[in-house]
Amino acid sequence: MSVEMSIEKPLVITVDGPGGVGKGTISLLLSNKLGLNYLDSGALYRVLGLSAKKKGISFSDENSLGAEASKLDISFGTEDPDLGVRVILDGEDVTADIRTEDAGSAASKVAAVPAVREALLQRQRDFEINPGVVADGRDMGTTVFPDAPLKIFLIASAEERAKRRYLQLTNKGLREKEDSVSIRTLQSKIQREIEERDRRDSERSASPLRAADNAVTIDTTEMVIDEVISTVLNLVKDRSLGKM
């Protein structure tokens, strides 16, 4: 399936939802299948959290965080089979560094700062170039691309998301140090982290995590990746957005 090149507006598909639901995997696969660009908006917040930590900027120093966000020297490289799209900060490959749960938690904290969101808004909108983009995040459908013709909101139980996140982290070797701890304990720890992050992302005043009014919500708790992909591709087809 591919999207027809046209002089019309680029096609934007937004994929929002809570942590660990599989947005990244689904969005990357969709973008490949449809020949669209991919925006991993969470990576921007993760990189900012990392950069702030490196520079000793406090997460409560809103002015400095906003300034740091507007001058962030970040670029996206080629796709890594395990880690996804490579992320470069100040010329350094930080792809693995930003994928830890700590980096996720730091990202969620800096993401609650309105000046940060404001500074990163245009950078995200710049991804709307032909033939289009699959944009993954928390507020893609509500704030960044409110006019997108297809908005997906993925959900899954917290337990299932903790399981997926656990598998994702262990696949990437990021949890090696904790191998001796039982899987059950580790998953519960991840579940607590995920739930805390959900709470922070949903309760903040600036662009909270929520489904856009016209989003299609898909509960993926009992679904495998292929089922989610075909559900979304059917929506693309039904709305005559892509060409088989």
Residues forming contacts to ligand DC in the complex (CB under 6 A) are: 19, 41-42, 45-46, 104, 107-108, 111, 137-139, 197, 201
Cβ within 8 Å of residue 118, ≥6 positions away = 66
* CA–CA gap between residue 60 and residue 110 (Å, rounded): 8
Name the minimum Å distance from CB 136 to ligand DC.
7
We find the least distance from the C-beta atom of residue 240 to ligand DC, in angstroms, to be 27
- With respect to ligand DC, which residue has the nearer C-beta, 132 or 137? 137
Q: Tell me whether residue 4 or residue 93 sits nearer to ligand DC (CB atom).
A: 93
* Rounded Cα distance, 85 and 49, in Å: 18
Tell me how far apart the terminal alpha carbons of the chain are, to the nearest angstrom.
4
Residue nearest ligand DC, Cβ-based: 42
d(CA 60, CA 5): 45
Q: Which two three-digit tokens encode residue 2?
A: 């591919």
Please state the closest distance from residue 156 (CB atom) to ligand DC, in A.
14
Read off the amino acid at residue 227: E
User: Considering beta carbons, is residue 207 or 242 the nearer one to ligand DC?
Assistant: 207
Nearer to ligand DC, 50 or 242 (CB): 50
Residue (128 or 139) nearer to ligand DC, CB = 139
Nearest distance, CB of residue 100 and ligand DC, angstroms: 11
* 94 secondary structure, DSSP code: -
Question: Cβ 200 to ligand DC, closest distance in Å?
Answer: 7
What sign for the dihedral angle of Cα 242, 27, 211, 130? Answer: negative
